[in-house]
Each structure stands twice: as structure tokens, then as C-alpha cells.
């Protein structure tokens, strides 16, 4: 599973051969969530501060995430996305 970004101990990944709707996976310590790119819907558990950072990053990079999703569907490499600063 390609790592797309990493910031403040949060790791963002996207899977090849994953299911729709477009989404990414975020890990922080033992916590894991799946986040819908288009709607920001979160499934899983994540501390509030980390979740806030993830959603802020999503808003800043939504277009890049959707482009990566298209690349995954076409079996092309994903591109690294700048971390939240």
C-alpha cells in the first residue's frame, strides 16, 4: 500500500485494487480510519486532534487525492502529497 503523505505522526496511505467510493487510509499509532475524499466521512477511531489535522489536510489536497485515486484505478503510480505544515 503506497504511502501518500506523513505529518505529525499521521501516515496517509492508498491501496491498489481498493473499493469505491474514493478514499484514503490514515494511521496514527494504533488508531486507524478510512476517510472519504469527496465527503470527508470517517470510519474508524482516531483521537480528536489527529482527526482534525487529517480533515484539514484533506481540504487542502482534495484534488490531488482524487487524481491519485484515478491513478490507482488505472494501475499507475500514486504521487506523494505535501504534508500538513
**What is the reported pLDDT for 63?**
98
- For residues 14 and 18, give the distance between their C-alpha atoms in angstroms, rounded to a whole number: 8
pLDDT in tens, 26-71: 999 999 999 999 999 999 999 999 999 999 999 999 999 999 999 9
Query: pTM for this one?
Result: 0.94
- For 67, other C-beta atoms within 10 Å of its C-beta total 15
**What is the reported pLDDT for 58?**
98
C-beta separation of 22 from 36 below 8 A: yes
Amino acid at each position: 500500500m503506497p504511502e501518500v503523505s506523513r505529518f505529525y505522526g499521521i501516515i496517509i496511505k492508498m491501496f491498489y485494487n481498493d473499493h469505491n467510493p474514493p478514499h484514503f487510509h490514515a494511521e496514527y499509532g494504533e488508531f486507524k480510519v478510512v476517510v472519504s475524499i469527496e465527503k470527508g466521512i470517517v470510519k474508524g477511531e482516531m483521537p480528536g486532534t489527529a482527526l482534525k489535522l487529517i480533515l484539514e489536510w484533506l481540504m487542502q489536497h482534495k484534488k490531488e487525492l482524487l487524481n491519485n485515486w484515478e491513478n490507482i484505478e488505472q494501475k499507475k503510480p500514486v504521487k506523494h502529497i505535501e504534508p500538513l505544515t
